[in-house]
Structure 1
Amino acid sequence: MGLQQVKPHAEIAEVWPRDGHIRLVGRIHGIPANGTWHLVLTRRARTGRTLRYDTDVKGDRFESELPVGDLAAADYAPVEEWDIHLTDGEVELRAGKHLDDVRGKKKIFVYPEQRIGDLRVRPYYTIKDNLSLECRTGGSA
């Protein structure tokens, strides 16, 4: 039995949703972590809509934080999703959790939502164990 090859990505170690922010801690896996890196959020429903945040990188470890209020938009559908990547301007790495033995994180890891006005924001793992953000507007859960 050989080890599964995991392509380069931003391996998430910690997700901290609180106080109007989401802090992400992890490491850059599979490539050298040289240069300046940014956390990039890409809105699935609107191609070309992205948000960028400074990312502190030391060795292969990274830490970044984003204010959930930045995810508010006047043209939101009732449910919007944002995908999370790290980039150095040349390479874009998907953020996820792949180096453990836990599969199906979507049903296992449940993070608390945060409310900003009518917007509810919650980090979640996709069926491919990548990390994304779900934004819901209106009503209650």
Structure 2
Amino acid sequence: MNGGTNGGTKDGPNGPVDKPRADATVDAEGRFVVSVTMPLPDTARPRLLLRPRPPKGRSEQETGRVVALEPAGQDRWRAVLDVAPALEEGRWDMYVLGAPGEERLPLLPGLRDLRALVSGAGDGRASPLAVRIPYVTKDGRLAVRAWLRATHAEAGRIDFSGDSMTVTARLFGARLGEGAAASLHRRGRDGAERRITLRPEGDQDFAFTVDYRDLSADGGQGGAGAAPAIWDVYVRPAADAPRIRVARLLDDVADRKTVFVYPAATLGGVTVRPYYTVDNDLAVEVAPAGR
């Protein structure tokens, strides 16, 4: 359970609320429950607004998801977002809406109970895979990170041995067939690909080992000032099947990039380092040594 503070109140924790603060819970069935603390008259009809955050340089969308906030005690209001309909993939900011024409109020974070997400097993997940993780933004507001994927390969344990790494993963929305392979694609115009045979470990589970020398042979060797080569990790469940992104989505971590830092290996003039992107997708960086 992640804790919040009482920094959004005046005159101590029992004083009137300066800004609405929300506790967020994800239960075992995947429902997202939001409990808001905000003094309002009994006749009020507040609503919870989830609005997709636009990409940089684009204007905010007018559309969003609005859910009624029901009375849940003294100065308490509650909304439940069922599993369906799913949120589109992206980041969603959360607000309270009062009467028509009133300014929307951003939510401050309270307690976040994400224990139901911690196991990361994902058993019984329907297709498409829909994931919602409440988190605190850099400016201290409550938001939701959502993923929606028709097919998905959930990264599990990553083991390291000298100049290689072994990834275990679980497949959702597809089944392994003949010619199944991990597929590493180098970003850029050439779109180079490395295919690695999978080792099935059950109906959905599999593993594969990446030899860093296969990635460093013709990438990331442009000298100390050269840009690194980035290899994105996919799986092809069969020889001619569309590729599926390998990512880690089924737990309580909304942003893995700075939380999970893996060791780098040095091979000749390059260093090789796996990492998670801003979207929690698995990738491998090959950079000139000493960069």
Q: CA deviation at 1:101?
A: 1.6
Runs of 4+ in structure 1 over 6 Å off: none
Matches within 5 A, 1:1-141: 1-3=81-83, 5=130, 6-7=148-149, 8-57=151-200, 58-74=202-218, 76=220, 77-87=226-236, 88=238, 89-139=240-290
Q: CA deviation at 1:15?
A: 1.3
Sequence identity (%): 27
Give the Cα–Cα distance (whole angstroms) in 1 for the partners of residues 162 and 289 of structure 2.
Answer: 21
- TM-score, normalisation: structure 1: 0.90
Pair 1:73–1:129, CA change in 2 (3 A): same
Bigger relative contact order (CA 8 A; separation at least 6): 1
SS in 1 for 2:241: coil
Note if contact 1:122-1:134 (Cα within 8 Å) is conserved in structure 2. yes
Corresponding position of 2:141: none
Q: Which one-letter code corresponds to 1:82 in the other structure?
A: W
Which runs of 5 or more structure 1 residues have no equivalent in the other structure?
none
Q: What's the RMSD between the two structures over aligned residues?
A: 1.7
The structure with the largest alpha-carbon Rg is 2
Pair 1:96–1:75, CA change in 2 (3 A): closer
Alignment size in residue pairs: 140
Give the Cα–Cα distance (whole angstroms) in 2 for the partners of residues 94 and 16 of structure 1.
Answer: 19
Give the Cα–Cα distance (whole angstroms) in 2 for the partners of residues 104 and 84 of structure 1.
Answer: 18
Q: Residues 26-80 of structure 1, C-alpha deviation per residue, up to 9 Å, x if partnerless? A: 1111223343310111000243311111001231001000110111244634311
- TM-score, normalisation: structure 2: 0.45
Which runs of 5 or more structure 2 residues have no equivalent in the other structure?
1-80, 87-129, 131-147, 221-225
Q: CA deviation at 1:138?
A: 3.3
Higher strand share: 1
Note if contact 1:68-1:121 (Cα within 8 Å) is conserved in structure 2. yes
